[in-house]
Amino acid sequence: MVTSEEVARLAGVSRTTVSRVLSGSGRISEEVRQRVLEAAASLGYEPNVVAQSMVRQRSRTIALGLFHVEEGLSFSRLGETKHHFYLDVLKYIEEEAANAGYDLLQPSRPLGRTPESYVRTLQTRQVAGAVMLALSSTDPRIPALVQAHIPTVFIDAVGQGPGATYVKGDHVSGARQVTEHLLALGHKRMAFFVGPSSNMFGMERLFGAQQALASAGRSLDPSLVRQSGWNMQQAYEAAAQLLSERRDFTAIIAGSDLMAIGILRALRERGLHVPEDVSLSGFDDLELASYTDPGLTTVRQDRVAMGRGAIQLLLRLIQGEQHLAPLILPTQLIARQSTGPAPSV
């Protein structure tokens, strides 16, 4: 069995320092703390005090994980347009946590060397639980947290176990609603801009569109499905490429409002009018969707319920409830001026 003395020797510190780091007490520099945690991780050291603290005395701190681990410092990337949707979600996470008497903690090094070291960091900090926001489906922190039995709620990522569950919008229904809206306006050929192929929710939205088309006796044209990143520039570039190839469609369904704004620019640069020549819709209903010209038809996701609901589920997990069902939030079509009747041929 690995001892704290071995950890101290590898980290180049005293056993007292190891004890202080692993108990979360005392003033320890970040550099020393990281050396001790990495030494403990590399040796596989599991101090009993951590396990005892997790069972007997939860702190009033909730760990917050943001986005995919490879993105680096998460807070510095909140200004990126692809993350704009989550700014309000974070606001309501913070408000609900504060109302319940909890503080939020975002570790400065999200993963360290391994997902196990990330989990150990949370255990060392004696967090009560964790909220993980918009991780990629391949993020190794998802199975690590589920297996460690740290109470965890994932937002726009799927992770489930006795002490873990997730919150997300009903992407399939939302995409089905907007596709049915365009079909009712007489549109027969629609282009679809989805996110990266690895993003499960972008694929759910495409599936919802396929459902609506199938119900109307129509099929999806694979050549009119285009992938891009979630931000305006990447969607603009993907739309410019599509428009250079063909213009035999009368509507575009974008995977997000920000993508739709990029597509709107590409359409205008080529002399196409929205909605007279091409109808355009987004997804999310960001505040700016009502300020575009024309106002953007979109699908509303309830960001208030997403943030507050995640904390409410987490508190139930912290209190010992297990195997909680995920919270699937309804979505709502918001029809504005960017969609109209299909142009006559």
Domains and CATH numbers, the chain: 171-301 (3.40.50.2300)
Residue 268 reports pLDDT greater than 50: yes
- What pLDDT score does 180 carry? 98
Counting residues of the chain whose pLDDT is more than 90, the rounded percentage is: 57
- Name residues whose C-beta falls within 8 Å of residue 217's C-beta, 6 or more positions apart in sequence: none
List pLDDT tens digits, range 189-204. Answer: 999 999 876 678 888 9
Q: In 84-209, which ranges are E strands?
A: 103-105, 129-133, 152-155, 164-169, 190-194
If DSSP codes are grouped into helix, strand and coil, which group holds residue 253? strand
What is the rounded average pLDDT of the residues 232-247? 94
List pLDDT tens digits, range 125-175. Answer: 889 999 998 787 788 889 999 998 899 999 988 999 999 999 999 999 999
- What pLDDT score does 107 carry? 74
- Name residues whose C-beta falls within 8 Å of residue 166's C-beta, 6 or more positions apart in sequence: 153, 154, 155, 157, 158, 159, 160, 326, 327
Mean per-residue pLDDT of the chain: 86
Residue 6 reports pLDDT greater than 90: no
List pLDDT tens digits, range 312-323. Answer: 999 999 988 999
d(CA 270, CA 148): 54
What is the rounded average pLDDT of the residues 333-341? 97
This prediction's pTM: 0.77
Note whether 165 and 316 are within 8 A (CB).
no
Note whether 220 and 192 are within 8 A (CB).
yes
